[in-house]
Structures are given as C-alpha cells and as structure tokens.
Chains A and B, each alone.
Chain A
C-alpha cells in the first residue's frame, strides 16, 4: 500500500525539510524587517511614517503568488539580481525567502503596532519624563512590552507563513507542495493517501507551533 513512499523515488522528508527551512529563515527575516517597519510606522519623521504605510498598503494587497513569481522572473531572470547560491535551485530558494520576508513583515508590523497600542500611555509618558528620546522610549520601554503581548498574533503569522511557503512551488522550489503535485500526477490511484500524508505533515508542523506559542504567550503576557 505504501510502496510509493520509497525514499529513493520521492524524498518526502527532504521536501518537508525545505518547507521548514523556508519557514525558519523567512520568519527570522520577517521579524527583523517587520520591527524596523513598525519603528518607521510610529516614528516622529513624517517621511518614514509615509513610506512604511505605503509599503504596507502596496505589499499587503498584492497576492503572494505575484510577489514570489516576480522574485524569480524579475529579480533573477530579468535583472540578474540574486541573494545567494550558485545554482538555479539555491538562488530560487533564497529569492523565495526574500519574497516571504517582504510579504510577511507587513503582518508582523501590523501585529506589533496593535501590541504598542496595548501598552499603557503612562509607560511612554514616564519614559519621556525621564528624558528618554524616541528611540529609547520605543526600544527600551514600549517595544519589549509590546512583544510580550503579541506572541499569540505573531504565532498566527508564523503559522500562516508555514502554509504560505507552499507558494514557492510556483518558481520550482522543491518543497512539500511541489512534491505533492508531482506525486498526485504520477500516483493517481493513491491521491487520497498522498493528500492525507501531506495534509498531516502540515498539521504536524503547525499545530504544535500554535499550542506551544499559545502557552508561551500566556506565560510572558504582561499582567495588568
């Protein structure tokens, strides 16, 4: 019944490993770029605020598929811009991560902004009364508290990102969805089984993440 699961023919674990790698690298990048974006979004410099909100409006309203396809077709093929990697496969892997970071960071930014709104006004006022500047108010006082209150929304973003990495199959990155498409075409008499295996793979990836981070969020939440 399961003889098509022969690792020689279909590298199931390898494909999910690519999915995990895409997720982890993209998550780290999105967290960094999303934090920078939220800093701009609430900064005293109008130009930065304008840039951040324009960036978010434009990127959030564009389908991820268009962004990922553009990363490969426009950046790599047309303009010859790549991030890392010698082979086509590696280049697409890193360009896909660039696309995921560009897209996911907008959700990180919006979550963080909601988190900043939950920090009591008195915190920032006290910090300013001590003579702290904007960077210090945001970096030392407000953002650390904001982060603690947005663990739950951020873990939703992370799980959405895990699922979104399947879009990388549009540019030929051999992750889980790419393998599933190949397997459903070749093993057409077992497609229900193939689907069940891949769906289960994603449940296994996302459910514990959600439960674990849900626990973390209750643990670190600022009690008020």
Chain B
C-alpha cells in the first residue's frame, strides 16, 4: 500500500480548504509551543549570545574539545563494529548448526546478551578491568565501552548474519550440495560471501546504534567521547551554556547518524536494483530495535527492511 494516496481521496475544493485550515491551525500550535519555549529560555536568560558564543562562534571549543571527542566516539564505534562482526558471524553460523550441542549454547549466549542492557555490560566491564587486569587507566574506559558494545552488538549481528543467510535463495544451497560441496564449504564459499553483501545495509544501520550508545560511555564511565568532552567545554565556558552545549552535540550526532542512515538506504536501494546479485537484502529496519526471544528472520525480514 503506497501510504499517502490510498488512505484519502484526491482532495476536492472543500477538502483543499479544510487542509488549509488544518495547516494554519497546526502551524499556530507549533508556533505557540515554540513561543512558549523561547519565552522560558528568555526568562532564564538563555537567549543571550554569551551563552551560545562558546559553541557557535569559538573555533577553539571545537578544536580543543568537540573534535577530539568526536574522534574518540569514532574510534570506540569503529573498534566495536570491527570486533563485533566476526564474533557475530561466528555465533550466527553456530546458531544454524545441524548439531543441537552447538546450536543451543550459541542460542543461549546470543539471547542473553540481547536481553542485558548495554549499560550494565559497560559498567561491569569497567569494574572488572580495574580489578582483574593491568589495562592502563587512561584506556580502560575505552576498553570497557568497546567491550560492552561488542558483547551486545555481536549478539545483534549474529541475528543479522542468520537473516542474511536465510534471505539467500534456496537454489544456492541446493546447487552447492548438488555439485558435491560439504556443509563447511557451502557456508564459507557460497552462503557467507553472498550474505555479507546482503547484510551491508543492516551493518551500516547498526553502526548508528553503536554511535548513539557510545554516549553512554561518556555519561556513565567518563570515556572522553563527544558528549563528555562537550561537558568539559561547557565547564571551561562557565558551566551555564548547557542548552548551547547539548544543541551543538545533538547537531553533530544527527549529521553523523543521518549520513550513515542515508548510506544504508542507498546501499539497500542499489542492491535491490542490482541484477548481478541474488537480490537478497537484509535492510536496516531489522536491526534498530531487536528483542530477545523473537526472531525477525525468515519471511518478515524483507518486509521490515522496507519499513
């Protein structure tokens, strides 16, 4: 169903008039809310330029705090993805094993780490590293953040890999078995390489989730990522530019994440059109909010991918 046109008739003269009235009313409500917010800000003295100047007119704030912070965010997110991918692939394939003894433990591990909040994993990793290892203090928060992200995202990626393999046409498996390949060969030479391309959009979408979760490491563990560094910048500017600080930070996150989302859907569109591949795609839609105990795989994956 192509949403907009099917739910209502082609607007006639009266419907057009009504739509204009709705538009005016809606704009009035929005303007009212905006005015109320600006009024609150004005009362609190938050509209003065001195509050905004450190973040929107002072380059040193960006070079000293925000850009190094963004770099730290990128490092944590990149590391987490690079480490989580092979682990996720391993568990995803293990879950599809013919042997119950392999399938069951892999399933338990994946379901467990999908059920536990990533924040708990980070806090635990941080304390455990401090107590049981010699990891230097200045990189410990990074290790803890990456560990938490890897444990959670590997379990999500395991499901993505599974979905990617299941999304491939059955003929691929049948043809491979027909030419006498063994199960291992089938997986490594036929299914996995094709599913990796099919999973690319989902992997890029997962990167958005990871980038957003790095902010937790800043707020709770003090990892010097974007959000945490912006706090130091605010402190240096007097500590009362909070609205400007969070606005600037939100803008950076939105730009980065919107770009990644756009990349994911561009990849997805390109691959759906492509004649060369099998046409199997695991869309970004399946990764965003996954829950333990349910499999968004099989028939539903293509559908939620187009959401």
Residues of A within 8 A of B44 (CB): 78-80
Determine if A184 and B123 form an interchain contact, defined as CB atoms under 8 angstroms apart. yes
Contact mask for chain A residues 137-157; partner B; CB cutoff 8 A; 1 contact, 0 none: 110001000000000110111
Main secondary structure of the interface of B (DSSP, over half): helix
Determine if B220 and A63 form an interchain contact, defined as CB atoms under 8 angstroms apart. no
Residues of B within 8 A of A12 (CB): none
Of the residues B208, B219, B258, contact of A65 by C-beta under 8 Å: B219
- Considering the complex, give the chain B residue whose CB is closest to the CB of A64: B212
How far is A61 from B131 in the complex, measured between Cα atoms in Å?
35
The answer to the question of A167 belonging to the interface, with a C-beta cut-off of 8 Å to chain B, is yes
Give 10 A-B contacts (CB < 8 Å), ordered by A residue.
A45-B23, A48-B23, A62-B253, A63-B214, A78-B46, A114-B306, A163-B115, A170-B216, A191-B128, A202-B115
- Considering the complex, give the chain B residue whose CB is closest to the CB of A46: B23
- Considering the complex, give the chain A residue whose CB is closest to the CB of B217: A65
With A62-B257, A170-B216 given, can you name 9 additional A-B contacts, CB distance below 8 Å?
A62-B254, A65-B219, A74-B243, A80-B40, A81-B40, A116-B7, A117-B3, A153-B296, A188-B127
The answer to the question of B165 belonging to the interface, with a C-beta cut-off of 8 Å to chain A, is no
Residues of A within 8 A of B215 (CB): 63-66
Question: How far apart are B118's CB and chain A's nearest CB, in angstroms?
Answer: 7
The answer to the question of B72 belonging to the interface, with a C-beta cut-off of 8 Å to chain A, is no
- Considering the complex, give the chain B residue whose CB is closest to the CB of A214: B294
Stretch in contact with the other chain, from B8-16, B78-86, B90-98, B182-190? B8-16
How far is A41 from B68 in the complex, measured between Cα atoms in Å?
38
Determine if B227 and A66 form an interchain contact, defined as CB atoms under 8 angstroms apart. yes
The answer to the question of A134 belonging to the interface, with a C-beta cut-off of 8 Å to chain B, is yes
The answer to the question of A85 belonging to the interface, with a C-beta cut-off of 8 Å to chain B, is no
Determine if A47 and B120 form an interchain contact, defined as CB atoms under 8 angstroms apart. no
The answer to the question of A124 belonging to the interface, with a C-beta cut-off of 8 Å to chain B, is yes
How far is A117 from B246 in the complex, measured between Cα atoms in Å?
36
Across the A-B interface, give the 8 residue pairs with the lowest CB-CB distance, nearest first. Answer: A210-B293, A114-B307, A61-B257, A156-B291, A63-B215, A159-B291, A163-B117, A63-B212
Residues of A within 8 A of B219 (CB): 65, 69, 167, 170
The answer to the question of A181 belonging to the interface, with a C-beta cut-off of 8 Å to chain B, is yes
Determine if B7 and A114 form an interchain contact, defined as CB atoms under 8 angstroms apart. no
Determine if A211 and B293 form an interchain contact, defined as CB atoms under 8 angstroms apart. yes
Of the residues B1, B120, B261, contact of A124 by C-beta under 8 Å: B1
Determine if A184 and B4 form an interchain contact, defined as CB atoms under 8 angstroms apart. no
CB within 8 Å for A121 and B124 given contacts A79-B46, A110-B307? no
How far is A113 from B7 in the complex, measured between Cα atoms in Å?
12
The answer to the question of B135 belonging to the interface, with a C-beta cut-off of 8 Å to chain A, is no
Contact mask for chain A residues 35-55; partner B; CB cutoff 8 A; 1 contact, 0 none: 000000010111111010000
Residues of B within 8 A of A155 (CB): 291, 294
The answer to the question of A105 belonging to the interface, with a C-beta cut-off of 8 Å to chain B, is no
Considering only residues 170-224 of chain A, those with a C-beta below 8 Å from chain B are 170, 177, 180-181, 184-185, 188, 191-192, 195, 198-199, 202-203, 206-207, 210-211, 214
Number of chain B interface residues as a range = 35 or more
Question: How far apart are A32's CB and chain B's nearest CB, in angstroms?
Answer: 17
Considering only residues 100-136 of chain B, those with a C-beta below 8 Å from chain A are 111-112, 115-120, 123-124, 127-128, 131
Stretch in contact with the other chain, from B172-180, B265-273, B282-290? B282-290
- Considering the complex, give the chain A residue whose CB is closest to the CB of B152: A163
- Considering the complex, give the chain A residue whose CB is closest to the CB of B304: A114
The answer to the question of A164 belonging to the interface, with a C-beta cut-off of 8 Å to chain B, is yes
The answer to the question of A160 belonging to the interface, with a C-beta cut-off of 8 Å to chain B, is yes
Determine if B216 and A133 form an interchain contact, defined as CB atoms under 8 angstroms apart. no
Determine if B119 and A206 form an interchain contact, defined as CB atoms under 8 angstroms apart. no
How far is A124 from B124 in the complex, measured between Cα atoms in Å?
51
Determine if B116 and A188 form an interchain contact, defined as CB atoms under 8 angstroms apart. no
How far is A6 from B19 in the complex, measured between Cα atoms in Å?
62
The answer to the question of A1 belonging to the interface, with a C-beta cut-off of 8 Å to chain B, is no
How far is A155 from B296 in the complex, measured between Cα atoms in Å?
12
Determine if A195 and B124 form an interchain contact, defined as CB atoms under 8 angstroms apart. yes
Determine if A51 and B257 form an interchain contact, defined as CB atoms under 8 angstroms apart. no
Determine if A73 and B291 form an interchain contact, defined as CB atoms under 8 angstroms apart. no
The answer to the question of B242 belonging to the interface, with a C-beta cut-off of 8 Å to chain A, is yes
The answer to the question of B30 belonging to the interface, with a C-beta cut-off of 8 Å to chain A, is yes
How far is A202 from B118 in the complex, measured between Cα atoms in Å?
11
Question: How far apart are A121's CB and chain B's nearest CB, in angstroms?
Answer: 5
